Structures are given as structure tokens and as C-alpha cells.
């Protein structure tokens, strides 16, 4: 079977939808954060496949930026979730109810 651009895009769209579903449905902060990373990587896959099939390297360069920024985001994000866990002893979103009106 020949693997074309549309196959890559279908996988990318599927990953993105899975990630979004995870963010909306799951209740654990760490799993939500994993799903967010899945969404970013879905976009990376789309960028790389477009770039490769169009013979245009711009997209692949952008992917390098996205990967490095995502790494910085994960470093900050996990530190934040750990700090919250130490204080609150939970990583469930239902328990984040200090501020309400």
C-alpha cells in the first residue's frame, strides 16, 4: 500500500482529537497534561508531513522550535503540578475549588 499525505494527516487529526478528548474527559492533572502534549505532537506530525510532501523545509524548522518550546513548557508545568501536590495532596481537578463565586 502506498502511504500518502492524507494518511499522515488522518493520523494527525486522530491524535489531535484523542488529545482534546483526553483534556475534556480525564480528571487527573497529569493525564490532562499528557493529552495536551499529544495535541502538540499531532500538530508536529502534520507540519512535518506537509513539509515533506511539498518539498518546503520551513515546516520542519518550525517543528524544532515547537519541540524545544514544548520541553520548556513541560519543565514548568510539571514543577507547578508537583508544587500543587505538595500543598494540596491531590492532582484532581475537582479539588481545585479555592476560588469561586
Partner 1 sequence: MNLSLISLEICVVALGMALLLADLWLPPGRKRLLGYAAAAGLGLLLVANLGGFGVFGSTGTAFGGMFVQDGLAIFFKRFFLLAAILVLLMAIEFSDRISAGIAEYYSLIVFALAGMLFAASANDFALLFVSLELITVTFYVLTSFQRARLVSLEAGVKYLVIGALSTAFTVFGIALVYGISGRLNFGELAGVAGQFGDNKIFLFGLLLVLTGLGFKIVAFPFQIWAPDVYQGAPTPTAAFLAIGSKAAGFVLLLRVLFTAVPDITAQWTNLLIVFSAVTILYGNLCAIPQRNVKRLLGYSSVAHAGYLLLGVAAMSTAGQDRSAGGSAMLFYLSGYLFTVLAAFTVITLVMRHLESEDISGLAGLNQRSPLLAATMTLAMVSLAGIPPLAGFFGKFLLLKALIEQGAANPGCYCLAFTAVAGIVISLYYYFGVIRAIYWSPGPAAAPPIAVSRPIRISIYVCIAGMFYLGLFPGVMVTVTTEAVKALNR
Q: List residues binding partner 1 (CB under 8 A).
A: 9, 12, 16, 19, 23, 29, 32-33, 36, 39-40, 42-44, 46-47, 50-51, 54, 56, 58-59, 61-62, 65-66, 69, 72-73, 76-77, 80-81, 83-84, 87-88, 96, 98-99, 101
* Least Cβ distance, residue 2 to partner 1 (angstroms): 19
Q: What's the residue count for the chain?
A: 101
What single string gives the DSSP state of each residue in 10-67? HHHHHHHHHHHHHHHH--BHHHHHHHHHHHHHHHHHHHHHHHHHHT-THHHHHHHHHH
Q: Minimum distance between the CB of residue 7 and partner 1, rounded to whole angstroms?
A: 14
Q: Kindly state the helix (H) or strand (E) to which residue 94 belongs, with its residue range.
A: none
Q: Which is nearer to partner 1, 11 or 23 (CB)?
A: 23
Amino acid at each position: 500500500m502506498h502511504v500518502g499525505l492524507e494518511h499522515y494527516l488522518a493520523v494527525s487529526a486522530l491524535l489531535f482529537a484523542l488529545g482534546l478528548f483526553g483534556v475534556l474527559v480525564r480528571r487527573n492533572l497529569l493525564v490532562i497534561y499528557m493529552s495536551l502534549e499529544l495535541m502538540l505532537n499531532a500538530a508536529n506530525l502534520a507540519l512535518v508531513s506537509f513539509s515533506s510532501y511539498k518539498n518546503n523545509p520551513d515546516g520542519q524548522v518550525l517543528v524544532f522550535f515547537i519541540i524545544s518550546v514544548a520541553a520548556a513548557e513541560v519543565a514548568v508545568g510539571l514543577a507547578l503540578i508537583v508544587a500543587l501536590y505538595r500543598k494540596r495532596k491531590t492532582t484532581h481537578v475537582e479539588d481545585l475549588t479555592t476560588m469561586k463565586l
